[in-house]
Chain A
Amino acid sequence: DTEVTQTPKHLVMGMTNKKSLKCEQHMGHRAMYWYKQKAKKPPELMFVYSYEKLSINESVPSRFSPECPNSSLLNLHLHALQPEDSALYLCASSLPGQGSPYEQYFGPGTRLTVT
């Protein structure tokens, strides 16, 4: 199984809502990532988890809160978002450790619209 799944596929939320994005993989990967991708732009790294610990936060606003409850799951909790946060949110995973040259496996993404 070389699949990364993300739910939901689409999400529309108001600026006062709280919602969560979910990502799951069963490849035994111990590094997991969140990216944000605006239309016609490359993905931008948001967070990196290594062995279930947050290792990189790319100065992301606190209205985005990541969580890695176990080695297979990665969540992104959303609260008080702004319309400019509307984007495709991508999850990825790879073999473990910093400095790993291994490829990342990406999920299909969650298309988020903030109204």
Chain B
Amino acid sequence: DAKTTQPNSMESNEEEPVHLPCNHSTISGTDYIHWYRQLPSQGPEYVIHGLTSNVNNRMASLAIAEDRKSSTLILHRATLRDAAVYYCILLSYNFNKFYFGSGTKLNVKP
């Protein structure tokens, strides 16, 4: 199964952009890249996903490297409510499985 590697923790100042990296060097051509976040005492929450092209939605942007071996989740203006653990996940086309990586704990300073 394809695996993801993320930094254990990152820190950001409020209202500044945050770039959360993820390495997935063993990704296959049909794996989707998903990002979820988990706020304290809550279930994970979908953030964004993509396959090959960069994606934007109301929460964030996803930048995918041309070789697809890495991706970056971009929060354009971090708020205190964005403090959470962010998981980068690969979803195999052949199996409806989610394997969560260890995640990045984002701390946002006021």
Contact = CB atoms under 8 A, between A and B. Distances in A.
Interface of A: 4, 31, 33, 42-45, 48, 50, 55-56, 90, 92, 94, 97-101, 103-109
Given A104-B46, A108-B42, A55 B96 contact: yes
Contact of A103 (B43, B46, B85, B101): B46
A45 B87 contact: no
Contact of A45 (B43, B46, B94, B98): B98
Contacts of A45: 97-99
B96 A103 contact: no
Given A94-B96, A99-B92, A100-B96, 8 more contacts: A45-B98, A48-B97, A56-B95, A90-B43, A103-B34, A104-B98, A106-B44, A108-B43
B97 A103 contact: no
Contacts, number: 58
A105 B99 CA distance: 15
A105 B100 contact: no
Contacts of A55: 96
> Number of contact residues on B: which range applies?
20 to 34
Among A45, A48, A99, A109, the one with the most B-chain Cβ atoms within 10 Å of its Cβ is A99
Contacts of B85: 42
Nearest to B93: A99
A106 B43 CA distance: 6
Contacts of A44: 100
Contact of A48 (B36, B43, B96): B96
A101 B43 contact: no
A95 to B, nearest CB: 10
B51 interface: yes
B43 A98 contact: no
B94 A101 contact: no
Contacts of A92: 43-44
